[in-house]
């Protein structure tokens, strides 16, 4: 196969389209084009093109992973889904994730622990924390370990009481609507109704 022209794709950063004399074309990264000396009138056999495409896609998946992880933290599942949405196939994604794990750029246990600590700092209840961790594809064992290792100096009902002292200090306990709004707030925060009831009873002498 002989290359007719090499065209830089302006709308896609670092991508180049190779057009062959038979009318077919392929899209590769500029790095692959340079590395394999793919230029106008160069001859490339079809098998070599297939190998170059596989090699390039693998490298692009790794580069994409590095770029994503440089901007944000990801669990394994989150990175997998992100790469899948960007058009990489399952094999490319698995290899890229394996590479990130070998470099210790992805570690679900570390991610879980940091995320739990973050949610605790935001005064989230354990129900909400578990839900958020499950959404991120973390295993049950990793979630339980992260929760167990999290340093919580207060019981959940004590944390609710602390929030009540700041947010619901002037609540009228005789007004059922105000009480209901406060209860709904804590439920949205991920606290269980038993702990909410205990906090209201001890702090405001209200039995829900």
Q: What is the CATH number of the domain that holds 7?
A: 1.10.10.10
104: Cβ contacts below 8 Å, ≥ 6 apart? none
Whether residues 84 and 50 fall in one domain: yes
Whether residues 112 and 185 fall in one domain: no
Whether residues 9 and 94 fall in one domain: yes
Q: What is the edge-to-edge ordering of all strands in the sheet holding 25-29?
A: 3-8, 15-20, 25-29
Whether residues 56 and 19 fall in one domain: yes
Q: What is the DSSP string of 38-97?
A: --TT-B--HHHHHHHHHHHHHHHHHHHHHHHHHHS---HHHHHHHHHHTT--HHHHHHHH
Total count of domains within the chain = 3
Res 168 pLDDT > 90: no
Res 207 pLDDT > 80: no
Give the pLDDT confidence of 54-82 residue by residue, as tens digits. 999 999 999 999 999 999 999 999 999 99
Three-state DSSP class for 116? Answer: helix
- For residue 126, the model assigns a pLDDT of 86
Give the pLDDT band of residue 152 (cuts 50, 70, 90): low
Whether residues 139 and 180 fall in one domain: no
Whether residues 179 and 96 fall in one domain: no
Mean pLDDT of 154-178: 85
Whether residues 8 and 73 fall in one domain: yes
Q: What residues make up the domain containing 167?
A: 156-204
Give the pLDDT confidence of 89-144 residue by residue, as tens digits. 999 999 999 999 999 999 999 999 999 989 888 888 888 999 999 999 999 999 98
Whether residues 97 and 112 fall in one domain: no
Whether residues 142 and 164 fall in one domain: no
Whether residues 46 and 131 fall in one domain: no
Mean pLDDT of 33-58: 90
Backbone dihedral angles phi then psi of residue 25, each to the nearest 5 degrees:
-150, 160
Whether residues 198 and 131 fall in one domain: no
Res 205 pLDDT > 80: no
| CATH code, domain with 143 | 1.10.10
**Who has greater pLDDT, 149 or 66?**
66
Give the pLDDT band of residue 151 (cuts 50, 70, 90): low
Pick from 31-35, 70-74, 146-150 the range whose average pLDDT is largest: 70-74
Whether residues 140 and 87 fall in one domain: no
Whole-prediction pTM? 0.72
């Amino acid at each position: 196969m002989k290359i007719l022209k090499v065209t830089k794709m302006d709308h896609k950063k670092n991508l180049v389209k190779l057009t062959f004399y038979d009318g077919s074309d392929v899209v590769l990264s500029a790095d692959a084009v340079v590395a394999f000396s793919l230029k106008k009138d160069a001859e490339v056999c079809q098998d070599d093109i297939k190998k170059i495409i596989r090699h390039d896609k693998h490298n692009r998946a790794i580069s994409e992973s590095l770029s994503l992880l440089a901007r944000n933290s990801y669990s394994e599942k989150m990175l997998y889904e992100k790469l899948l949405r960007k058009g990489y196939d399952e094999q490319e994604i698995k290899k890229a994730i394996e590479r990130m794990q070998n470099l210790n750029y992805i570690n679900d246990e570390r991610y879980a622990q940091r995320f739990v600590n973050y949610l605790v700092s935001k005064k989230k209840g354990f129900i909400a924390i578990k839900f958020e961790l499950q959404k991120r594809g973390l295993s049950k064992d990793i979630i339980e370990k992260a929760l167990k290792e999290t340093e919580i100096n207060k019981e959940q009902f004590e944390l609710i009481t602390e929030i009540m002292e700041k947010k619901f200090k002037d609540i009228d306990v005789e007004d059922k609507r105000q009480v209901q709004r406060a209860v709904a707030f804590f439920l949205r925060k991920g606290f269980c109704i038993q702990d909410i009831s205990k906090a209201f009873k001890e702090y405001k002498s209200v039995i829900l």
